[in-house]
Structure 1
Amino acid sequence: MAKTTWYNIGVGLIVALGSFTYGFGFASFATSIGQPGFYAYFNLSIEGPDASYANSILGAVNALFFFGAVIGALSAGPFADRFGRKLALLSAAVMSVIGGALTAGSVHIAMLIVVRILQGSGLGALATLVPIYLAEASTPEKRGMLTGLHGFFLVSGYTVSAWVGFGCHFSTNLTFGWRGPIAFTTIPPLILLIGCIWVPESPRWLLSKGRVDEAWTNLSKLHHDASDPDETSAHEEFYQMKKQIELEQTHPSGYWAILSTPSYRKRALLSCFVQFAANGTGGLVINYYSVIIYTNLGYTGSYPLLFYGIYTLIGALGNLGSLLTVDKTGRRFALMTGFAICLISLILETAMIAVYVTGSQTTNLAGQRVALFAIFLFVFGYGLFIDAASFIYSAEIYPTNIRSRGVALATTTYFIMCITYVTPGAVAIANISWRYFLVFVVMTAITIPIIYFFFPETKGRSLEELADLFGDPVAVHLTTATEAERAEIDMEIKNEHLAEQLEYAGERR
C-alpha cells in the first residue's frame, strides 16, 4: 500500500489554508456583530423598538453571504473539472481576497450586503475545492487524516477569528473593532496564493485529461516511499487509478448524470444528507449567534466574546483529535457517536434556556454554568466526531468523473441549510428562544438511525474501490488482492511499461 509522505502532508497543509480562509471569513462577521462599533457605525439598535429591524438586517447579510457561497460551490465543481483543481483554488483565493477587502471597507449597509455575496462566492468555492483535492491526493491509509485537515483548518479559522474579535473588542477605535476582524480575512487567501506555487495538480484530474506522464510525476512525488526503491506501491496505485478512470470515462458525467444514474444518485443522497444533518444539529446557529446566546444567559462586557473564543478552541481541538483517529474508528462510528453527543447536549441546552432565560430565574448561576457546559460539550462532540467526518465522507464516495460536481452539491446543501437555519436565527432566538432549539433536537434524533441503516463504512479502501459499495464495477482491486493477484497486477504493470518504452523507441526511430 502506498505511503503518505511528509511532502504529501505539507501539500495538504497548504491546500487546507483554503478551509482556514473559509472558516475565518465566515466567522469574522460573527465577531463583528458582537462589537458595539458595528451597530453605532450602521445606526442599528439591538434593543428597544428598532431591534427587529437590526435583526432583519443581520439575517439579510447572512442569507446573501450564503447565497454567494451556493453560487461559488456550484460553479467551482465544473470549473475544477475543466481547468483543474489547482487553478480553481487560485481563482477562489483571489475572489476571497477581493471580497474580504471590500467587506471590510463597506461604508453602508447596502454595500455590506452586496460585497458579502462576492466574499461568500470565493469562500464557498474554497469550501468545495479543498476536500476534493485532499481526497484525491491522499493514500487510502491516511485519507481520513488528510481530508480531515479541511475540518480542522476550517474550525481553526473560527478560533483565530474569535480571538481576533476578542482582541479588537478592547480597541479604543470602535470602527476598527468591527472592521479589523473582517480585514484580517484577506491574509489567509494571500498566503494560499503564494503556497499554491508548490502544490502539484491532482494526479487523478491529470489522468482524466489524458496527461499520464504528468500524473505519474505528481503521484510519485506525493507518495514516494524511500523503503521501496522500485516504487512498486506507487506503480500499483497509479495503475489502479488509470484503469478505473478509463472505465469511468465510459460513464456519463455532469450534474444531470448524478441525478439520473441510480448509483450516482445514491452517493449524492448520502453526501448531501450528511451535510444536511450536520447543519440540522444547529451547530452553525450556535456558532454564529454565540455572542447573543451568552448575552441572553446573563453574561456581559467581554465575556460573550471570551466564551466564543473558548467555544471555537474546543471545536478546533476536537477536529484535531478527529483527523488523528478517524482512519482507525471509521466514518460510521464517528458520525453516530457525534450525533448522539450533540443530541444529549441540545436537550440539556434547550432545557437550561427554557428555565433560566425565558423563565423567572434569569440570573441563576448554576443554570448559567450548566448551559455553558452543554454548549461546550456540544462543540467538543461535533468537532471530534462530525465536522471532519462529514466532509471526508462527502468527498470520498464519488468517482473521479463526478467528484467535483458531487462535492459541490453536498457543499451547496450545507450552505442552503445555513440559509435555512442561520438567517432567521437572530429573530428566532429573540422571539421564540428555546423553542427554536427543539427543531435541532428533533433533526439530530432522526439522523442517528438513518446513518446506522444506510451509510456504508468507507475507511481503508482506495477511492477507486469504493465503487463496490454502490454497485459500480472496479477495474482493479488492490486492498483485498491476494499475493498471487498482486503479482499478476505487477506483471501487467511491467508489460504495459515495456510496451510504452517500445512505442517511444519506435517513434524516435
Structure 2
Amino acid sequence: MNVTEEKDVLENVADGLTVKDVMPKREKLWFFYPGLLKLNIFLLIGILCQVVSGYDGSMMNGIQALESWQNYFDHPAGGRLGTMVNGNTIGTLITVPFVTFMCDYLGRRLSIIIGCCVIIIGATLQGAAQNFSMFMGSRILLGIGGCIASAAAGPYVTECAYPTHRAQATAMMLASWPLGSFVAALVTWAAYYSNLQTSTWSWRVPSILQGFFPLIQLALALIAPESPRWLIAKGKVEKARNFFVKYHAEGEPDQLIVKMQMAEIMATIEEEKTQHMSNVIKWIKSPGLRHRLFICFFVPAMLQLEGNALISYYLHIILNNIGITDSLTQLKFNIGLTVWALVASVVIASVVDRFNRRTVFMSGLSSMCFCYVIWTILSAINQQRNFEDKGLAAGVVTMIYLYNGCNVICAVIGTPYVMEICPYFMRATGSMIYQLSGNVVGLFNNYVNPIAMEAITWKYYIVWCCNLVFLMVIVYFFFPETRGHDLEDVAEVFGSDVVGGRAAVRKQMMDGEKHFDNNMHLETAAAVEQTPTDALTEKA
C-alpha cells in the first residue's frame, strides 16, 4: 500500500470508526476465549489492590471489639485510636510523591510487584507487634505498599482491559474493597468465637492474613504482561502489538481491533509528547486540563466525605450509640454488612457501563442522603428514649445497610471515571492524585470522626447530610459525561487542549507530516495494510 492509500485509509478510520466499531463479534461469553480469559485473570493483580484497603478497615473495626487487643494496647481511644487507625494513611502520604515516577519509569506491573512485597512485610510485622510503636510502624509499611500498588493498579487495569470490559474491570477494583472487608470481618469473628478469644493471636492472625491477597497478586504479576500503552510510550511497539494480538484478538494479527488500537494509541501518545503533556505547568495553564485535575482531586475526596468512613472504621461507636454494645453481636453485624456490600458492589460493577457516569454518581449521592436523613432522625429519637426502643435500633441498622448499598453505587464508578478522563501522560499522576486526595481526607476523617462521635453522638450525622447535598451540586455542574468514548477519545468532552486518538490521526494526515519515529511508522503502515479501503469507507 502506497503513502496516498495509507493516508486515505487512516482518514477514514479517524473520521468514522471507533474501536468498538471494529471489534470482532463474539458469540460466546468472554471466558470461553483463551486470550480474554488469561487477560482478565491477569487483571486481578490490579483489581485486588483495593482488597487490602477493605481488609484494613474491617479488621480495625473487628479487633477493636476484641478484649485481647484492647487490653494489649491499653484501651486506645480518641487521638491515640485515630493515630493507630491512620498508620496506613500516614504510610500512603509518605509514598505519594514518588508513585508517579515509579509507575511511569518502572512500569505499572513492576510497581504493583514492589507494592505487594512491602504489604506482605508490613502484614507480617503487624502480626508480630510487641508494642504500640511496632504496630504503628507496620501499619505505615502497609500504607506505603498499598499506595504503590494501588497507584499503579488503576492505570494498569484501564490500559490493559478489553475495550468493552474496561469500565466493568476498573469498577471491580472498588468492588474488591468489600471482598477484603468481608474476609477480615470473617477472620476476626472466627478468632473471637474460637479458643483464641483471650489470646493475642485473636488479633495477630487477622493482622498476618492481611498479606494473603497481595501474595496472590504477586504470584500473578510475575507472569503477567505489561501495559501496552506504557510499552508504546517507551518505544517497545512490537511488544505492545503482541499484547493486543494475543489478548484482544485471540492471536489473529490481522484483526482490525489490533490495527485500530495501535494507530490511535501511537498517534495520541506522539501528540501528547509534541504538546509536552508531561510538563505539569501545562496542566495548570490549560482550562481543560485544570478541569481534569479538579476532578482527580475531587472524586476521591468525595468518596471519603460521604459519611462512609464512620462505618468503615468506627462502626463499633455507632452501634454503641444505639445501644448495641455486645462484642459478638457487633462482629456478626460487621460480617453481615460486608457480605451485603460485596454482593451489591459486584452486581453494580457488572452493569455500571450501561448507565451514564453522571447518572450513576447522582443516583448514589441522592440515595445516600435519603438514608442518612432517616438514620439521623431515628438515632435522635432513640437517644431521647434512652436506647430502650429496640425497634428504633433496628431501624438504624436497616438504614446503615441501605446506605452501604447506595454508597457502592458511587464507589465503583470513581476509579473508572478518573482513569478515563486522564490522557496517557497524566494517568499515573491522576492515580497519584487519587491516592493523595483520598488519604488526606481520610486522615482528617480518622482523627475527627471518633472525637466528634464521642462528643455529639447522633448530631454529627447532620454534617454528612448537608455535605451529601453539596456533593450533588458539584457533580451536577462540573462532571462531564464520558460514557461511550474510546479511552484515547475521552479528551473530546473537555475541549481541544488535548488531541484525542482519532483526532490525532486526522491531524497528522491533514498536516501531511509523519511524527512517528521509524518503528512507529512501520507499525502505522501495518495497522492499515490488507484493510480494504472500500470497507472502511462504508463503515465510516
Structure 1 Cα separation of the partners of residues 60 and 79 of structure 2: 15
Given the alignment of the two structures, is residue 497 of structure 1 paired with residue 521 of structure 2, yes or no? no
Is the CA contact (8 Å cut-off) linking 1:25 and 1:123 kept in structure 2?
A: no
Which moved further from structure 2: 79-88 or 135-144?
135-144
Aligned residue among 335, 353, 360 for 1:334 = 360
Give the partner amino acid of 1:322. Answer: I
| Matching of residues 15-414 of structure 1 within 5 Å | 15-44=46-75, 54-173=77-196, 174=198, 175-225=200-250, 230-250=254-274, 251-253=276-278, 255-299=280-324, 300-356=326-382, 358-383=383-408, 385-414=409-438
Give the deviation of 1:460 after TM superposition.
2.0
CA contact (8 A) 1:139 1:462 kept: no
Residues 463 and 499 (structure 1 numbering): CA distance in 2 closer, same or farther, change over 3 Å? closer
* Contact in 1 for aligned 2:50/2:176 (Cα 8 Å): yes
- Whether 1:416 and 2:474 are equivalent positions in the alignment is no
Residues 13, 149 of structure 1: 8 Å contact kept: no
2:528 & 2:444 partners in 1: Cα distance? 57
Inter-partner Cα distance in structure 2 for 1:393 and 1:498: 29
Cα deviations by residue, 1:27-46 (Å, 9 ceiling, x for unpaired)? 322221121111111222xx
Distance in 2 between residues matched to 1:303 and 1:439, nearest whole Å: 28
Q: For the residues of structure 1 that align with 2:332 and 2:342, how far apart are their CA atoms?
A: 15
CA offsets, 1:230-279, max 9 Å, x none?
A: 21112111111111011111223155544444322210111221211111
Q: Deviations over 1:32-62 (max 9, x none)?
A: 1121111111222xxxxxxxx6222111112
Deviation at 1:131, TM superposition (A): 1.6
Quote the RMSD (CA, aligned, Å).
2.5
* 8 Å CA contact retained: 2:63, 2:69: yes
5+ unaligned residues in a row in structure 2: which ranges? 1-19, 25-29, 31-35, 511-520, 530-540
1:40-92 CA distances to partner (integer Å, 9 max, x unpaired)? 11222xxxxxxxx6222111112332121223344222211011001100000
For residues 341 and 450 of structure 2, the distance between their equivalents in structure 1, rounded to whole angstroms, comes to 22
Q: Counterpart in 1 of 2:39?
A: 8
Change (3 A) 1:493 1:225: farther
Instruction: Decide whether aligned partners of structure 1 residues 126 and 256 sit closer, same or farther in structure 2, where only a CA change above 3 A counts.
Output: farther
Secondary structure in 2 matching 1:142: helix
Identity %: 24
Q: 1:234 to 1:437 in 2, by over 3 A?
A: same
Conserved? CA contact 1:65–1:117, under 8 Å: yes
Distance 1:27 1:260 in 2: 42
The SS at the match of 2:163 is: coil
1:196 Cα deviation from its structure 2 partner: 0.8
Task: Measure, in 2, the Cα distance between the counterparts of 1:444 and 1:426.
Answer: 20
Q: Could you give the per-residue CA deviations for residues 395-449 of structure 1, whole angstroms, max 9, x where no partner exists?
A: 1110111100111112211111111112222222111111222221111111112
Alpha-carbon separation, structure 2, partners of 1:256 and 1:68: 28
8 Å contact 1:34–1:305 — kept in the other structure? yes
The amino acid across from 1:398 in the alignment is C
Which moves more between the two structures, 179-188 or 259-268?
259-268
Q: Matched residue of 1:298: which SS?
A: coil
**Contact 1:346-1:441 at 8 Å conserved across structures:** yes
- The residue aligned with 1:430 is 454
Residue matched to 1:489:
none
Count of aligned pairs between the two proteins: 480
Q: Mean Cα displacement is larger for which, 449-458 or 13-22?
A: 13-22
Question: What CA distance in whole angstroms lies between the structure 2 residues aligned with 1:262 and 1:457?
Answer: 17
Contact 2:259 2:528 (8 Å CA) reproduced: no
Distance in 2 (CA, whole Å) between partners of 1:265 and 1:498 is 34
Asked if the contact 2:65–2:327 (Cα under 8 Å) also holds between the matched residues in 1, the reply is no
User: Cα deviations across residues 157-211 of structure 1 (Å, max 9, x unaligned)?
Assistant: 1111111111111133331111121111111111111111231100001111111
TM norm structure 2: 0.84
- Mark the runs of 5 or more structure 1 residues left unpaired by the alignment: 45-52, 486-491, 501-509
What's the TM-score, normalizing by structure 1? 0.89
Distance in 1 separating the partners of 2:321 and 2:280: 44
Q: Which runs of 4+ in 1 moved over 4 A?
A: 254-257, 492-495
